[in-house]
Structures are given as C-alpha cells and as structure tokens.
Amino acid sequence: MNAIDRTPADLLRSALAADPGRPLVTFYDDATGERVELSVATFANWVAKTANLLQGDLGAEPGDRLALLLPAHWQSAVWLLACASVGVVVEIGGDPADADLVVSGPDTLEEARACSGERVALALRPLGGRFPQPPAGFADYAVEVPGQGDRFAPFVPVDADGPGLVVGGEELSYAELVERARQDAGERGLGAGARVLSGLGFDGWEGLSAGLYGPLAAGGSVVLCRNLDRLAPEALAQRVESERVTHTA
C-alpha cells in the first residue's frame, strides 16, 4: 500500500490501482452456507454505489454520525468504506437516538427506529437479497443501492484528521485508524498477499482490524466468517487449506 494513504478510502484506491482482480473479501456464513467472494474491483464498486446512496439520496455530510448496527459481514465492510469515502463518522453499535443516520440488520430494527434521521435496513440474505416485505420506516438497502452510480466523488474532500470511527468508547480519526491498522498488520506479520481468516465480530477494534482494516492496509485479503462456531474442526481445516489462508484471528 502507498505510504501516503491516510484514510481507509485511500487504502482501497491504492488496492484498486495495484491489482483490481485479486480477492479482497471472501465471506462465509456457516448458519446459511453462504459464500461470497469479492475482488478488489467488485468490492470497490459496492463501496462507490453505497457512498453515492449515502451522499446523494440520504443527504449525509462529512461529520454526520451513523450508528452501524450490523454484524461482521461483507456488507458491513462495504458500509465502513463507504462512510470513509464520504467523511461520515461510523459509531459501531452506536445509539440510534443520538445518530444522524442508522444502518441496521434485520435483528435490530426496533432499536434502530429511535433514530430521527434516515434509516437503512439490510436483510443480510444470501447474495445481497432484499427483504420479502420492506420494514416500515426504512429504506431497503438491496432495493436502493443497485441503481446508484459506479463511480464516486465526495462533494467535500475527506479530512484525514477528522473523526472517522467510534468503537469501544474510543474515537479514532481516519489517519489514526489507518496507522493503527498498519501497526496491527505489522504485529501480525501481514504483508502483500497475506490472507487472514477471521471469525471475530465487528463490535470491537480487534475484529475490525483483523477482518478488514489490517489486511487492507497490508495489501492482503480477508476470509470473513460469521457463525464460525458451527463449523466442525475438520471443515475449518479444509477451509484454511482451500482458501490458502496464511493467518487466522
């Protein structure tokens, strides 16, 4: 990755310039049997569409606070990078009542209704499927995002030193986030081509670092696993081998 990258969006742009066809996020849900693999280019396209939805249809501006009520999931990773592209501050598990916007999974809709601003719901169904019946008071992400533009440009340049992420009660600027991700990647021994299997949640920094930011900062990729505890040890060993995993978290 480029040493001058100071935001997660910078890291993604560098990854796209270096090798757009390589895998970036491979997602498994061992409760449903789902497997999704996104190359750098495909992931970046989802990020661009989501950032356009965020900035355009939802009217989000730099500094706005978004409560993210999602588990570790490939779509959660997309939202994290889309917010960084716009300059929106992500509060992991934040209080919707105090947020400008909320993004919710299917299990937290009642909690999310406390947000007086824009509300977006994700069904988290295989292949990015929509809700069978859209939840009242929410925009269905799977309905709204496909028609968004494939290229994104922020109305206002993102301030790398501005707030970017709140997790575990700690607020990080984008620059601090990137620097910490680089440090974590170094401590884990990650380099270009590293492939990290993570079964950690996105509710703490360790899971966010291992499951997204660290591999991205190092020029690697992630095998992100939800409900990994349902997988038998021999099946996990087979996955590590078939996915060419170099590190586990």
User: What's the CA gap between 170 and 89, in Å, rounded?
Assistant: 12
Q: Of 2-16, 135-149, 187-201, where does mean pLDDT reach its minimum?
A: 2-16
* pLDDT over 80 (residue 6): yes
Closest among 105, 66, 107 to 87, alpha carbons compared:
66
How many CA atoms within 13 Å lie on the side-chain side of 242? 7
pLDDT at 1: 59
Work out the average pLDDT over 166-182.
Answer: 97
Work out the average pLDDT over 15-33.
Answer: 97
- Phi then psi for 120, rounded to 5 degrees? -125, 135
pLDDT at 115: 98
User: What's the CA gap between 38 and 46, in Å, rounded?
Assistant: 10
| Fold observed for domain 8-248 | Rossmann fold (3.40.50)
List, in order, residues 6 or more apart from 28 with CB less than 8 Å away. 34, 35, 223, 224, 225, 226, 228, 239
Query: Is residue 106 very low, low, confident or very high in pLDDT (cuts 50, 70, 90)?
Result: very high
8-state DSSP, 160: T
Work out the average pLDDT over 9-31.
Answer: 97
- Phi then psi for 13, rounded to 5 degrees? -60, -40
Please tell me the total number of residues recorded for the chain in this structure: 249
List, in order, residues 6 or more apart from 153 with CB less than 8 Å away. none
pLDDT at 122: 98
Torsion of CA 154, 160, 162, 165, to 10 degrees: 90
* pLDDT over 90 (residue 155): yes
pLDDT at 60: 98
Q: Of 125-129, 137-141, 226-230, where does mean pLDDT reach its minimum?
A: 125-129
Angle CA(57)–CA(11)–CA(98) in degrees, nearest 5? 45
- Phi then psi for 106, rounded to 5 degrees? -70, -20
pLDDT at 108: 98
Work out the average pLDDT over 46-51.
Answer: 98
pLDDT by residue (tens digit) across 66-97?
Answer: 999 999 999 999 999 999 999 999 999 999 99
* Residue 37 CB neighbours (<10 A): 16
* pLDDT over 90 (residue 127): no
User: What's the CA gap between 49 and 194, in Å, rounded?
Assistant: 27
* pLDDT over 70 (residue 195): yes
Average pLDDT, the chain: 97
